[in-house]
Each structure stands twice: as structure tokens, then as C-alpha cells.
Structure 1
Amino acid sequence: MVELLIPQRQHSIGAFEVGRVLPFRQRRMVGPFIFFDRMGPQALRAPVGTENDVLPHPHIGLSTVTYLFEGAMTHRDSLGVEQDITPGALNWMSAGSGISHSERFEPMRTQGGRMDGIQAWVALPEHKEEQNPDFVHYEAEQLPLIQDIGLEGRLIAGSALGLSSPVSVDSPLFYMELRVQGGQSVPLPTGHEERAIYICAGELEVGGQRYRAGQMLVFAKGDSPRILAEQNSHLMLLGGEPLGPRHIWWNFVSSSKDRIEQAKDDWLHGRIKLPPLDDEQFIPLPAV
């Protein structure tokens, strides 16, 4: 059954509002997923000002997983990568020992439009926290389609429902988008110790209880409850194997508090370089 219900909380990342789900005070992680933000839905009026952009900022010890439902963004990082992302495609950036990147609304700058999607962070296993940073992009057609009576979607990463994504992951996990017609059952993958469903839109019924959009349902280990879509619903399913305790401060994740302190000092003193294609501005280290 539903072990924990996590509500979405509004959070500002400058001029852009997101709905934060993870980390939560009662549940910091689901499998290796340590961060989960809903980026919308919201309308960006043309011209979309640069004040809406996310300036260059650093990460260590995690992978950022960006997946859009609507809109478009431009990613630039300290490896020299420049990549637009559009709905259904995937940007997977592994920070490892340290990387910086920006996210700008350049593809929407003149026209504006609706923006919606998810940015998740996946913590790295301890023995891979200091690996070299990396970035990969997958177009929508490269990700496996999930199709059955009354449901369709994509397996973004990992293995589930008899499918495997081509995306290379650092620990066992699954991450998928599903759109389910009202009255249909929702398949919850088995074989993973920790599992959750985030309701983007619609309504689910589990064990006689109804759950609505903006909520994450965390399920008990080994349970296989009947999950029913009460109406047409848009869902994100995620989970995997736990990695053990992690410290999180600002954009840094690590199994070591000392490593977090080192990352703070590295950003403060410019030892994590800026994206060469976007190096005129950056987000300074927070005071708190």
C-alpha cells in the first residue's frame, strides 16, 4: 500500500517557480533519486527574459535528469556541451567530481509558450562519486515506448515492465512516464526495493484512498497494490535500490560532509570552471 504521501511544495529558483517533491523531511530519497522538481506547468510570455534562466551553477556527486513535457531549454556545461532539449527527449548529466551548467530558455525566447517538465537528481554510488563528469542526450525516439490497452509512455532510464532503456545508469533504477486512461490499472514495476509514483495530472485510487495531482505516492517494499486511474492521468514512476545515507547542501550531494565543504570552497574560489559557452555570469555560493 501507500507507505508515505509526499506533497509538492512551491519553491522559487529565482524568477522561476517549481514544485519541489524530493527531498522531503520524512523521506529524503526514493532509491537513488534524491531530488525531484516539477518545472511547471506555466506560461512564459514572449519575449522570455533572461531573468527566467538558470545561470551557471555547480554540482558534485549526482546526475541531473531533465525531461520535458512542454517547452524547450538550452543546456550548456563546463565540458563545452551545448544541447537543446525538447519534450520526450532526455538530458542526463553526471556531475561526478564536479561540473557546472546553465539552463536557458533560448529556444522559447521570442515566441514564449508553455513550460512543463521534471528535473530529478540521481545520487551516485559512493565508489563513483568522484568519477569524471559526463553528459549524454537521447532523442525521444531513442527511448523505449510503453504501449498497452489504455496506457502509453516512455521508459526513460533503467529496466521495468520487461523493457530496458539504452541510457547508461550507475545503479539499479527505473524511471518512466505514463499516460493512463480513466478506469485503467496502473502497472507498478516489481523487482526494485523502493518505488514511487508522482501524479502530474489526474487522480489515482489505491486501497480505497484517492490521490491527486502534485502528490508523490511511496509504496511499501514488495507490495503489489491495485492502482486505478480514476480519470485520464499523467504519471512519473521511479525507484530503484537505496544507496545509503547522503548529505545534500545546495547543489551538492555526497556521502561525505567533508566533501561537501570542499565543493563549497571550490565554487567560492573558482576551482570549478564555468561553461566556456556561458561564462559571463554565475550563481554565487549561498551565504546559508
Structure 2
Amino acid sequence: MTIERIINKRIHDLGGGFEVGRVLPFRARRMVGPFIFFDHLGPLELATGIPRELDVLPHPHIGLSTVTYLYSGQITHRDSLGFEQEIRPGEVNWMVAGSGITHSERLEYARTHGANIHGIQAWVALPTECEEITPSFHHHAGADLPEWEEAGVKGRLIAGEAEGLKSGVHVHSPLFYQHWEMDADARRSLTTAYPERAIYCARGKVEIGSTFLSAGQMAVLNEGRLADVVACQPSIVMVLGGEPLGQRYLLWNFVSSSKERLEQAKEDWKAGRMKLPDADNLEFVPFPED
């Protein structure tokens, strides 16, 4: 069989009414390669003057890289390293948390102009030897993200290496992450170069073998099996995967190979020992005690 399992997104409230579709982690499939978290943002139509309660307030991370990627809309990133960066469609915000970082995600553009927010936020776990590296932030656009076009398909390599292309995003373990825009009836095969792979339908409907994948569904593939993706209608498809990293534990926004390290991060946040963004330090997300 080509498909190991299908995962349906589950609605999750980030706070203030901003709901996302959470795909990873899933109880029966915690990770795909190094990807340990996968949230589908929107599509959400926001009018001018939206309340600030919809913003994602400053919060902490350790042991991972976050990657924010939008199809439409705009989000303002601010972090404890001093970076403030607008993320726009087709660009990449890649934040390496390492030993610890805090950031916020604000809807400043939508508040002023209105916007349709639609995109994906993923977390990529760091290999054990990199879990405590110095935090960093990188914004990528244009030539950093190789693009290609073939019969009915426009593609972009967001991160990693695949099919002879390499993204300008620096990654810490072997992986690939692609965005496909598919016309109706377009067909494309997925690389078999990595042992763990998944296909996510963000919009439209696609067929893999005799299995249909609708918007909000992820198909995790069996290792080495060829997978032809056929678009039943115009569709947005994300394909991702890589080499597995081994056991990772997840506590709130923290990822680590050590449960003790998670507890330390929890106590550091509760005690106020993690620096907040300079431009955004008047409020933050408290640790959820429940």
C-alpha cells in the first residue's frame, strides 16, 4: 500500500478566537521525518479593525525551528533577538529556537487593511547535537526558494533538497518541504529519496492511487512507495518529509529529546527568565497549567 494513514486536521484555538487546523502531532503519528508540528492557518477573512485578542502574544520555544509560510495575507513577526519581519505570501520566516527564543505573531496588516489569512506553520525538530544551539532568525524570498513549472503544476521548494534543487534555507537535518499549485487533472509524482514523507491538501481535492484527499487531510506514505498525485480540481498541495530524528518529547511550545529539559524550560518561562521581544514586552502567553 502507498498510504500508511490519513490524518484529518483538528480545530484548535490559539487564543482570542484565532482557530487553526492542527494536523501534527497526531496520537498515532507524532512526526514525519523531523516535522513535529503542522498547523493549517485559515483561510480566514479578516476585516479592518479586528480586535488585538486575535494576535498570538509573545510565547517561548526551545529545541526546534519554526517555519511560517503563507498563501495569502500578512503576519508581523517580532522576537527576542530584536527582529521584526513581515511575512508575505511565498516567503519564509525560519526561526531557530535552539536553547530558547520568544516571539509574537501579530495581524497588524489585516487590522489596517483587511486580509484573507491562509497558510501553514510547521515546526521542525532539531537533531540532538543542535537542540541547544544559539537561537537565530532568517527571512527568505525570491531566488532563495527555487521554483519550477511543468504541465499544470507550479512548484516551490521551501526548505531542504529534492529532485536536484536546494533551498537557500539552512536546515539542520536531511528534509524536504514543497508547495505545489496544481491545475485540475494535473499529475505529479512525489520523491522517494526520504524514508518518511507526507502529502497535505490545503485546498481542493487530490487523488493518490484510489484514495482521495480533501482540504484539511494529510496522507502519510509508506517508505519507498511511489505516489502519483492527481488533482481532481485546482488544488494547493504541501509535500514534506525527511530522515527521522528519534524520540522527541513535546510540552506546550517546547520540544526536546529530554523530559528534564522540557521541565526546565517550563520553569524558566513561569519564572520570567526568558527574554521577551523588546518591541512587544507588555504581555505574553502564560504557561497553561491545565
> What range describes the TM-score normalised by the shorter chain of this pair?
over 0.9
Structural mapping, 1:1-288, within 5 Å: 1-14=2-15, 15-288=17-290
Distance of 1:138 and 1:2 partners within structure 2: 32
Distance of 2:104 and 2:211 partners within structure 1: 41
TM-score (norm 1): 0.98
Distance of 1:257 and 1:148 partners within structure 2: 46
Contact 1:5–1:215 (8 Å) recurs in 2? yes
**Which consecutive residues of structure 1, in runs of 5 or more, have no partner in the other structure?**
none
Contact 1:185–1:227 (8 Å) recurs in 2? yes
Distance of 1:220 and 1:249 partners within structure 2: 28
Deviations 1:228-285 (A, max 9, x none): 2222211011000000010001100000000000000000111111011110100111
Contact 1:29–1:35 (8 Å) recurs in 2? yes
SS at structure 2 position matched to 1:277? helix
For residue 172 of structure 2, what is the amino acid of its counterpart? D
Cα RMSD (Å): 1.0
The answer to which of 39-48 and 119-128 deviates more is: 39-48
- Offset, 1:227: 2.4
- Offset, 1:141: 4.5
Distance of 1:150 and 1:50 partners within structure 2: 40
Q: How many residues align?
A: 288
Contact 2:95–2:136 (8 Å) recurs in 1? yes
SS at structure 2 position matched to 1:40? strand
Contact 1:10–1:19 (8 Å) recurs in 2? yes
Distance of 1:103 and 1:272 partners within structure 2: 17
TM-score (norm 2): 0.97
